[in-house]
Structure 1
Amino acid sequence: MSPTQHDPLAASFLHDFATMSTFGATPAGGVDRQAASPADIAQRNWLHGLLESHGIDVRYDRIGNQFGLVELAPGAAYVVVGSHMDSQPTAGRFDGAYGVMAAAHAAFRLIDEWAQTGHAPRYNIAVVNWFNEEGSRFMPSMMGSSVYTGVLPLPEALATTDPGGVTVESVLGQAGFLTEWEGPDAVSCAEIHVEQGRILENSETTIGLVTATWAASKYEIIIEGAQAHSGATVMEDRQDALYAASLLVVFARQLADRFPGQLHTAVGKLDVYPNSPVVVASRVRLLLDLRCADESVLAQANIALRAECAEIERTAKVRVEQRLSHEWGIDPFQPAGVELAREVAASLGHTHGEIFTVAGHDSVNMKRRVPTVMLFVPSVDGVSHNEAEFTRDDDLCAGVDVLTEIVRRLADGALTR
């Protein structure tokens, strides 16, 4: 039986989630809601109204993070719970957005319960919609949580431009989402997210207890060749930057094949100049990721990449510049938070198991500042960053139930005694 047929709380959540999914909806069933786009601004305004309708005060900080403040312990710090609502250009409707709506409904349930019982929690709750987690319009990703946690300087974030030259500061200012407030004082954090892989589905597990992030090396690679006529220039004289980039794209996939099941590689962005049909490309900029759960394998992959870039320089007669833009090792979540999540999932009767996260999330920033719990629910066929992304209603609602109980315990000081 579907949760909507026997549980009004689940039905309320699913209704609000469906409404939220109409903002930036695409014909193929996904969303296009890039950071501070008209669709993103519209859904933020809608969420503002939804939170206020439940008596929650909504505020924005100095990088446009949206907070719904539930103050039941005057002067106390906040349990920050949520995710992000921005998306990739054509994306699924669950990535990030599910975590924000789950957080909102966890807060709604606890507000109503505590009003009836008279319970006074030790800490307050802040529902958060982090700004620009995806990084598709404004780079880097996880911008809002990076500024909030001090990882990224505020001036650098505000000055960031999109491909059209629009700055973060101008677009957030025009939308009314910028203030001088630094955000709530956090004491702990929780985030729930769709897995974006198929480990949970394959193992028939409902709740993933995220223990750590994979290690990663992220590169910006600039290839400099020489502009030439695409027809008249003889082949041996060409210094084709796009040819060199193509060799690197293929190598990235071949590198992953050297370590099957261990190493993930990708080239997610490629900028070609002059990008003309009759000109040999003189410059290519690409972003290349290496991700791995084994730091020794990642080290081998980095060495192989450097060697291949040198070989491509010789083969294509170009210059290849590697810039390591981001790098981190295996990055664990606090074990006490994992155990708290395990206790809650078991107490509610849900199958559960430990899992790594390969993708980055705002909670990865937050766990460096406060005790943080990260949860996953299954993704059908592991599809994500795709309009076909899907998670079943029963799994969504189970996740909200688990998150609600975790937030209840965090608000009573479960990880801060």
Structure 2
Amino acid sequence: MLEIRKDPSAFPGIDAEALHRMMDEVSAFGGGPDGSMTRLTLSREDGLARDWLAAWFAQEGLRLEVDAIGNMYGFLDWAGKDAPCIMCGSHLDSQPNGGRFDGAYGVIAACSAIEAIRRRVAETGIKPKCNFVIVNWTNEEGARFQPSLLGSSVNSGEIDLDFALARRDGSGVSVAEALSEIGYAGEAARVVPDALIEIHIEGSAHLEKAGLRIGAFTRFWGAVKYRLAYLGRQAHTGPTPMAERQDALLAAAYLIAELRDMADKAGPDLHTSAARLEVYPNSPNVVPGETVMFIELRSGSAELLASAEAELKEKIETCAARAHTSFEVRSIDRRRAGEFDAGLIDLAEQTAKSLGQTVLRLDTIGGHDAVSMSAVTPAIVIGVPSVGGVIHHPTEFTTPEDRLLGTELLAGMLWRFCVDGNILKN
């Protein structure tokens, strides 16, 4: 059991005005008047947000490095080259017509926490025992380029750099081309810290329903993602007899219904979706000749995920036969299920207790960059409440009070490393 100071005054104080002001500033890049956010990775809006962050690093005296996949790192080198390095941060990219707080809050909270720690060190005169690095990961969302968690997965070694740079969006633009266009194709080496703490909005309503304000994700679900194409025969929707149609969209429709049935029968431990379709030629009076589906299976159980994938393969064939089409599986992406670091979970709970809060232990079903990084370093994701459980929507919201509390918790956890060094090895 990690021991922690019980006096909350020992923790760095967060400048609440600066925290909320920075959140507003970064929300201007891609933000709409209805609260929406469209800041797709490596877009013009993402480039502006990155420029804003780079300027903040320069203003605060942090050393900026950018790697070949565009991950941004702001280093606070003040404890010596042999001192442990603790990472915090998240991502600035968003979903199309998404919310303002998913990812971006984690980056802004990290900036505010490090700013507070620097003030506290100046006030106390202590000698820091660790270095810090704030990170902005590339393409966490996977909205423009697939797979998601692209930048962190390259950094952790789970995805090959050349493969990642060759991914193309719907317009045929590659990751490499997009990085060059906004000026963030760097050359820095991979960064493997001694620990990673990512703070994030919860993205569900468990905290709100429990009447609590801090969640620690202890387990992350695995995922299997298929890019599947049903191939039919393009034809006129008027004269072509129904019995002779080879309708690629119909095959996809059959499979969508089957995916929902799979989840209903499996219960709450399996989530399925087919949230994106690309229909060709996509004309109202043409039988679709090709439909591309983006399919996801998610579960915290590796065994359930494997059995669900086997069932999916059977249903893909059945639906193709039913609609008189063929099919191609064009890509498969996999993300393992696992657990976050027990020492960091313990630290989060003790820090929260010092702040008068109780931590709710949760699973994360959605992916986070800390999931990728957990393969190479101790990692954790901390959650603060999402009002109504809303995420990936313009009404996504976390109250200023909860954003401040989450940042105070992050600063408190980081402060322990600053004072005592790598406590995970003690």
TM over 0.5, yes or no?
A: yes
Q: Deviations over 1:351-397 (max 9, x none)?
A: 21110100000000111111112101111111111111011111111
Distance 1:273 1:196, change over 3 A: same
Give the Cα–Cα distance (whole angstroms) in 1 for the partners of residues 30 and 74 of structure 2: 22
Q: Contact conserved, 2:14 with 2:112, CA < 8 A, in 1?
A: no
Change in CA separation of 1:51 and 1:222 when aligned onto 2, cut-off 3 Å: same
2:422 aligned with 1:413: yes
For residues 307 and 43 of structure 2, the distance between their equivalents in structure 1, rounded to whole angstroms, comes to 40
Give the match for residue 4 of structure 1.
Answer: none
Q: Which residue of 2 aligns with 1:123?
A: 130
Query: Which residues of 2 match residues 104-123 of structure 1 at below 5 A?
Result: 104-123=111-130
Aligned to 1:101: 108
Other-structure match for 1:49: 55
SS at match of 2:391: coil
SS of the counterpart of 1:113? helix
Secondary structure of 2:194 counterpart: strand
What are the superposed Cα offsets for residues 223-266 of structure 1, whole Å, 9 maximum, x if unpaired? 11122222111111111110110111122222222234332111
2:247 aligned with 1:240: yes
The equivalent residue for 2:166 is 159
Unaligned runs of 5+ in 2: 1-12
The change in CA–CA distance for 1:84 and 1:311 in structure 2 (over 3 A counts) is same
Cα separation, partners in 2 of 1:276 and 1:160, compared to 1, 3 Å: same
SS in 1 for 2:169: coil
Count how many residue pairs are aligned between Structure 1 and Structure 2. Answer: 411
1:91 corresponds to which residue? 98
For 2:160 and 2:321, the matched residues in 1 are separated by 39
- For 2:393, give the aligned amino acid: N
Relative to the length of structure 1, the TM-score reads: 0.94
The Cα of 1:36 is off from its aligned counterpart by 1.3
Could you say what the CA RMSD is over the residues aligned between the two structures, in angstroms? 1.8
Deviation string 1:289-323 (CA, Å, 9 cap, x unpaired) is: 11123444434433432332232122111123446
Quote how far apart the aligned CAs of 1:115 are.
2.1
2:411 to 404, 408, 413: 404
1:174 is aligned with what amino acid?
Answer: E
- Which amino acid is the alignment partner of residue 155 of structure 1? D
Q: Which residue of 2 aligns with 1:224?
A: 231
Deviation of residue 271 (structure 1)?
1.1
The normalised TM-score by structure 2 is 0.92
- Counterpart residue identity of residue 102, structure 2: D
Superposed displacement of residue 55, structure 1: 2.0
For the structure 1 residues 327 and 387, does the alpha-carbon distance in structure 2 shift closer, same or farther, using more than 3 Å as the test?
Answer: same
* 297-306 vs 228-237, greater mean Cα deviation: 297-306
Structure 2: which amino acid aligns with 1:375? I
Deviation at 1:398, TM superposition (A): 0.7
CA distance in 2, matches of 1:352, 1:284: 45
Distance (whole Å) between structure 2 residues aligned to residue 187 and residue 311 of structure 1: 48
Give the partner amino acid of 2:163: E
Structure 2 counterpart of 1:22? 28
- The answer for the alignment partner of 2:38 in structure 1 is 32
Query: 2-side partners of 1:287 and 1:396: how far apart?
Result: 33
Match for residue 3 of structure 1?
none
Q: 1:205 aligns with which of 191, 212, 215?
A: 212
Any idea what SS the aligned residue of 1:186 has?
A: coil
8 A contact 2:216–2:362 mirrored in 1: yes
For the residue of structure 2 that corresponds to 1:415, the secondary structure is helix
Is the 8 Å Cα contact of residues 147 and 154 (structure 1) preserved in structure 2? yes
2:10 matched residue in structure 1? none
Q: Which amino acid aligns with 1:11?
A: E
CA positional deviation for 1:325? 1.4
- Report sequence identity in percent: 37
Once residues 368 and 183 of structure 1 are traced to their aligned partners in structure 2, the CA distance between those partners, rounded to angstroms, is 14
Distance in 2 between the 1:8 and 1:357 partners?
27
